[in-house]
Structure 1
Amino acid sequence: MKRTLKIAALLFATLLMLAAAAAAWYIYTKQPQRTGSLTLTQLTAPVSVRYDERGVPHIRAENEADLYRALGYVHAQDRLFQMEMVRRLAQGELAEVLGPKLADVDRLFRTLGIRARAQTYVASMDKTSPAARALDAYLDGVNQYQATHPAPMEFDLLGIPKRPFTAQDTVAVSGYLAYSFAAAFRTEPVLTHVRDKLGAAYLKVFDLDWHPEGVVTPGTTAAMNSQDWGKLDQLAQLSHEALEMAGLPQFEGSNAWALSGSRTASGKPLLAGDPHIGYSAPSVWYEAHLSAPGFELYGHHQALNPMALLGHNQQFGWSLTMFQNDDIDLIAEKANPDNPNQVWYHGQWVDLQSREETILVKGAAPITLTLRRSPHGPIITDAFKDSLGKTPVAMWWAFLETENPILDAFYELNRADTPEKARGAASKIHAPGLNVVWANAAGNIGWWAAARLPIRPDNVNPSFMLDGSTADADKTGFYRFSDNPQEENPARGYIVSANHQPRPNSGVPVPGYYNLFDRAQRLDERLRDPSIKWDVKTSQSVQLDPQNGYGLRVLKSLLPVLNTVVPDPLEHALLESLFAWDGSHTVNSITPTVFNQFLYELARSAMADEMGAVQFKNLLGTRALDFALPRLAEDATSPWWDNRNTPAVESRADTVKAAWRATMDHLQLTLGKEPAGWGWGKAHTLTHGHPLAAQKPLDRLFNIGPFAAPGGRETPNNLSGAIGPAPWAVSYGPSTRRLIDFADAGKALGINPVGQSGVLFDTHYQDQAQTFIAGGYVAQHLSAADVTANTRSTMTLTPAANSPR
């Protein structure tokens, strides 16, 4: 018996060892190769790829085609699954690999028209342009990697088939980026709901001009009924949740500034930038140092794009923020009661265009969509499988209605060493709207708000849904780029861009869904200090600043009220901390926890009864609420204070008291009875979520975090999310922090929120995550000497025997 047991134990141990060996071999075959020699077809000469201590490739080629082909190859081996997921999201193909739960996301993206626009865009591209040739070489590198290597682990888990990447994928991804800015889907239905269902007195706190001309109003032929509103509620919710469901990052804000040499310790311009994007694993940016005769750039690239969206070299550099201009209008069409496929346009009934598309669904039958388009744009309410309501809503979107040579724009921006070249490149960015903040070693700084701004009829307020039965919903053209907001070498010696409302010198209107001005004011307050000569060290303190004045603005009118309605001594001590608070969000502080919970409870107590559950949830995801709450706090007579669900008429004091009580109850329930345990870092955490994290227990394997997170909503260190109840999961923030002093741009600093690689178990999958959350920076090697000193491995890509010479 003992002998039998020993044999069984030995066999079991052997099987375990074999299984472990097989697992180890499986993982090994998925890892990136960063040493040795590999062959690529179409190369004309060997390409050197030197990897530094963070896994950043420093690529040296003899010509641009070889350079971009090599970039595609190394980008794919680190980020192939990210490339696959982002193209599927943009083209509405997620359900094919993730199943029916993503079918509504696919419906939305098909309805937006991104896929169709990408097809027509690629068909009309000049294939001989430098940007098109660069894209062709890059995609060939991506496809050569995919064709010659095992699929990533995620492909195996989801059963994703390999298929080549195309230019249509790249263009569609640019449409996804444009959509991710689109606050209109969340905001316009909400504000129209407030105006039409509640009235002008309720709209007052949003500080919007009351312009009824051209907008949908009760009693008009295109007025919305309850079923129509139900459909728009769905649209707002789905547009807000789509990217979260897909596990892919969304653009949210950004900081950037440029200082002239008169304001710096070195006497040369200094550039800083930290675009605010949704957090994910892997991170959105892929760093690569590219070098070929006549061209060098240290760039930050996005999936499937060979052109860097952020970059620098010894001569110049730039960063981006989101312009936040309103380039989407939602338009309620007047449908023909005798023919639902006709709408009233310019005094007559016109036919809707239509096309059919098929969504493949894993484990379910395919879905056939009939997608319609009016003269104003796609009928976005067709996104829903159940045809509710009678009013079709169209979407006019600059991404669909402009030439938008964005690949050419960034190809030129990657080489823009003078203000004239940078300005010319920025003029070719039509959608999404971007602020280009630029500097060069010759001493120039500049900022250009890049977008094609539509000319809308006078007195039309695009914050509301428009009435398609009138010409007021039309666009009569676009303003000149020279009329856009912009500055070059201002006398004050610095430029700040932080998603705030710009003031163009031309007087051209720039409606939009801009962020709070508090972050921009805080940056301006710091940078205008004449006693400081700025360098990369002092600039770090600005990027990492966890303070702003928003909380103080909200509390200014409410603290005296709270002082009279909070009797409990322990709670009064918390209230005293709010009186003394400077607006800082540091991890050990209790005060920001109390404030942010109170902010949510204030909004809920005042507004949820009027808005209803669905529209209140949508309101929480808008920037309009950020602007409304300080005005609401100041206005003791606002009708929002009354709770419609009670027979009494509540005052501001009544509602503020209820909000405070709810704040205390919620924090005690979620964080513990003792306020000593309510530290901001306990309640406010960052987890970098992988697209597979929704499948338990894969979240434990692929996710990175959680980490206690400093900063907060609209502080310069903008680690944040939507207004909501504790605990708070940070959803977006600095996607990198870059600091470049052009006295020696080779000593630039930066950081990746997690790591270069998207390959699980790779050394560089999360090797920067702790440094990032702690506010650390790492070197971005640019000079030949620094690259050589920090090279950890070298890979050589050589031409295949049949490659052209």
Structure 2
Amino acid sequence: SFADIDDSAHPLSPFAPRGFAGASNAWAAAASRSASGGTLLANDPHLGLSAPSVWYLARLELGSGGVIGGTIPGMPMVLTGRSDRLGWGLTSAYVDDQDILIEELNPANPKQYRTPDGFKDFEQRDSIIQIKDADPITLTLSWSDNGPILPGRFRDLETITPPSHVAALSWTVLSPSDTSVSAAIGVMKAQTVAEAITAAESYIAPAQNLTLADRGSIAMKTIGAIPRRDTAHQSQGRMPSLGWQKENRWQGRMPYATNPGFVSPAGGILGNTNNKMIDRPFPNHVSFLWGDTQRVQRWRRLMQAREVHTRDSFIEAQLDTVSFTARTLLPLMGAELWFTGEAAPEGTPERQRQRALALLAGWNGAMNEHWPEPLIYAEWLRALQDRMARDELGPMADALTHVEPLFIERSFRNIDGAASWCDVRQSAPVETCADMARLALDDALLSINETYGTQLESLRWGDAHQAHQDHQVLGEVPVLKHFVNIRQSTSGGDNTLQRGLTKGSGPNPFANIHGAGYRGVYDFADPNSSVFVISTGQSGHFLSRHYDDLAQLWRRGEYIPMSLDEGLARAASVGVTRLEPLK
């Protein structure tokens, strides 16, 4: 049965690991905030890094004209890019579009489940999986009215599912009439912001924030189905609920007009970093959980720092490595440590702590690959959260692979008594957050010494924060892996606009494994000045010089031009490859 398949760590699981949801940045400026007098748009979607990249640069010729930008091979559309008149970009909207519902089985017939109107047969289908050098496996797939039945071992669902019950998944992406592809093609054909918003109405899932700019206006619209829930829903979708209770079942989708949208804002600037966009009470909410509370703070600062923006200022923001998190937390963590203590002999923990604090005191928070401070800060923060959480959570603290900045900040500011997290409950003394900060810094410096064994001043963040762009098929093959995998020192971090999400666990916890595989900046005062880049190259063949020729440009924060003018494109080409069907 399907229960033989384990959770998301299983290679056959269709579910991504927790903690690595899609993310992105997108922002736009109206002509009134542009030095060139034309609208501006920037977008860099964040996905898991791989070689070849998920993204492929392409130009498509439609009946409505040419479009150019980032595509995903196999999908007949430019997902982020521009036409001659319109630019568009995507960020993950974090819409609350999944619910788990517990279905009660019929004691007399386990192929039936309870509904508001009595027992009903599951829809079932056998799926045969062929396995090389082994017998095939037959999986029996089942569906209720609420969605597909999940295996009990997935995310340990069986531990919360009563006997004679199963869990079903309601998810907008499972819609039987998904018109998302045709909607995306409609956006490509649109000539104005208004036309693009109208075309996106039939988009279903996964929900996105669509950022738009035409030659005269800018807009942002959340596209995708938002479930309509009953005000009497037992758990508001936050926890598994009873699937046979009518009030827990979805009642269609919310009207598209109620999806968050912002057209031609008065300030002339709009953007999204997966941050909270709108605050509405249940059941009109968009989400209970958002993807960013940190990057947006730095983005606002950069946008407000200039009266007018340019293509280059948008590029500068896209490549910004300053961590708002570091600038917020370090003053709290070091409040009782900066420039204190007596002189200590070389080689002592006290002396090492003083050297680390002296470096951090003069640091501006930039997660620069060439500097030691980002690594010291990252190790310190990681050790601090572990010390604060482990005595309360025990082994469950292992699940906290990434630092939660708001948890640290609220604890150090003692918001609603959160400073109690700093006290080690299993010890008699009452430890303060300053005590935890000092102990965690010593932990971090010990870990750095054991891992790198070098002077603090000689450390490089980029040595720990290498981008792991690995081949998904050949990346583990001995010898061959050295040819197909692309490893590069990179700047940025978990909460910088130039995002490089760290792995969070294992022997290389700061490895960069999730970031902007595509970057694009479009200037509609001079559309041909727009720039693009992907993180590897255009070829999927590791022996091709185009397998990784864009990777160094991407790492250095450089871009390439692309033009909708076919003559210009052919004039600069290095060759032409023709794909022709067999006669």
TM-score with structure 1 setting the length: 0.64
1:416 aligned partner: 190
CA shift, 1:585, in A, is 0.5
CA shift, 1:653, in A, is 4.5
For residues 108 and 428 of structure 2, the distance between their equivalents in structure 1, rounded to whole angstroms, comes to 45
Matched, 1:555 2:330: yes
For residues 551 and 576 of structure 1, the distance between their equivalents in structure 2, rounded to whole angstroms, comes to 15
CA shift, 1:334, in A, is 4.7
Check conservation: 1:597, 1:724, Cα contact below 8 A: no
The one-letter code of the counterpart of 1:628 is: F
For residues 341 and 203 of structure 2, the distance between their equivalents in structure 1, rounded to whole angstroms, comes to 53
The one-letter code of the counterpart of 1:271 is: L
The one-letter code of the counterpart of 2:208 is: L
CA shift, 1:554, in A, is 2.9
For residues 269 and 766 of structure 1, the distance between their equivalents in structure 2, rounded to whole angstroms, comes to 32
Please point out which of 250, 272, 293 is paired with 1:517.
293
Q: Secondary structure at the match of 1:320?
A: strand
Q: Secondary structure at the match of 1:409?
A: helix
CA displacement 1:28-83 (0-9 Å, x = unmatched):
xxxxxxxxxxxxxxxxxxxxxxxxxxxxxxxxxxxxxxxxxxxxxxxxxxxxxxxx
Provide closer, same or farther for how the CA distance between residues 638 and 292 of structure 1 changes in structure 2, counting only shifts above 3 A. Answer: closer
For residues 798 and 511 of structure 1, the distance between their equivalents in structure 2, rounded to whole angstroms, comes to 46
For residues 42 and 185 of structure 2, the distance between their equivalents in structure 1, rounded to whole angstroms, comes to 21
For residues 722 and 457 of structure 1, the distance between their equivalents in structure 2, rounded to whole angstroms, comes to 39
CA shift, 1:326, in A, is 1.9
CA shift, 1:352, in A, is 4.0
For residues 280 and 231 of structure 2, the distance between their equivalents in structure 1, rounded to whole angstroms, comes to 19
Provide closer, same or farther for how the CA distance between residues 402 and 355 of structure 1 changes in structure 2, counting only shifts above 3 A. Answer: closer
Please point out which of 660, 677, 688 is paired with 2:441.
660
Q: How many residues align?
A: 562
CA displacement 1:171-206 (0-9 Å, x = unmatched):
xxxxxxxx65xxxxxxxxxxxxxxxxxxxxxxxxxx
Instruction: Map 1:44-193 onto structure 2 (within 5 A).
Output: 104-106=10-12, 108-109=13-14
2:367 aligned partner: 585
2:82 aligned partner: 312
For residues 393 and 431 of structure 2, the distance between their equivalents in structure 1, rounded to whole angstroms, comes to 17
CA displacement 1:613-640 (0-9 Å, x = unmatched):
3x4344436x9x4543322333365554
Instruction: Map 1:302-341 onto structure 2 (within 5 A).
Output: 302-334=72-104, 341=111
1:669 aligned partner: 450
Check conservation: 1:685, 1:708, Cα contact below 8 A: yes
Tell me which of the two structures has the higher relative contact order, counting C-alpha pairs closer than 8 angstroms and 6 or more residues apart.
1
Q: Secondary structure at the match of 1:272?
A: strand
Instruction: Map 1:639-718 onto structure 2 (within 5 A).
Output: 639-643=420-424, 651-691=432-472, 692-705=474-487, 707-718=488-499
Instruction: Map 1:226-245 onto structure 2 (within 5 A).
Output: 239-240=17-18
For residues 476 and 292 of structure 1, the distance between their equivalents in structure 2, rounded to whole angstroms, comes to 38
CA shift, 1:601, in A, is 1.5
Q: Secondary structure at the match of 1:456?
A: coil
Deviates more, 1:583-592 or 1:650-659: 650-659
Please point out which of 305, 311, 319 is paired with 1:536.
311
The one-letter code of the counterpart of 1:736 is: Y
1:132 aligned partner: none
CA shift, 1:378, in A, is 2.0
Q: Secondary structure at the match of 1:682?
A: helix
For residues 293 and 401 of structure 1, the distance between their equivalents in structure 2, rounded to whole angstroms, comes to 29
Please point out which of 510, 515, 519 is paired with 1:737.
519
CA shift, 1:497, in A, is 1.4
Matched, 1:488 2:270: no
Provide closer, same or farther for how the CA distance between residues 491 and 386 of structure 1 changes in structure 2, counting only shifts above 3 A. Answer: closer
Check conservation: 1:313, 1:746, Cα contact below 8 A: no
Q: Secondary structure at the match of 1:791?
A: coil
Instruction: Map 1:741-760 onto structure 2 (within 5 A).
Output: 741-760=523-542
Check conservation: 1:549, 1:582, Cα contact below 8 A: no
- Structure showing greater Rg: 1
Provide closer, same or farther for how the CA distance between residues 797 and 303 of structure 1 changes in structure 2, counting only shifts above 3 A. Answer: closer
Q: Secondary structure at the match of 1:751?
A: strand
Please point out which of 132, 138, 143 is paired with 1:373.
143
* Identity of matched residues, %: 28
1:122 aligned partner: none
CA displacement 1:701-757 (0-9 Å, x = unmatched):
21112x111111121111222545765110111111111111221221111211001
Q: Secondary structure at the match of 1:717?
A: coil
The one-letter code of the counterpart of 2:462 is: G
For residues 221 and 156 of structure 2, the distance between their equivalents in structure 1, rounded to whole angstroms, comes to 44
Q: Secondary structure at the match of 1:330?
A: strand
Q: Secondary structure at the match of 2:353?
A: helix
Q: Secondary structure at the match of 1:311?
A: strand
Provide closer, same or farther for how the CA distance between residues 469 and 555 of structure 1 changes in structure 2, counting only shifts above 3 A. Answer: farther
Provide closer, same or farther for how the CA distance between residues 358 and 273 of structure 1 changes in structure 2, counting only shifts above 3 A. Answer: same
Long gaps (5+) in structure 1: 1-91, 110-178, 181-238, 242-249
CA shift, 1:418, in A, is 1.3
The one-letter code of the counterpart of 2:52 is: P
Higher normalized strand content (fraction of residues): 2
TM-score with structure 2 setting the length: 0.87
For residues 96 and 155 of structure 2, the distance between their equivalents in structure 1, rounded to whole angstroms, comes to 28
1:174 aligned partner: none
CA displacement 1:582-634 (0-9 Å, x = unmatched):
32101122221122112222222222344453x4344436x9x4543322333
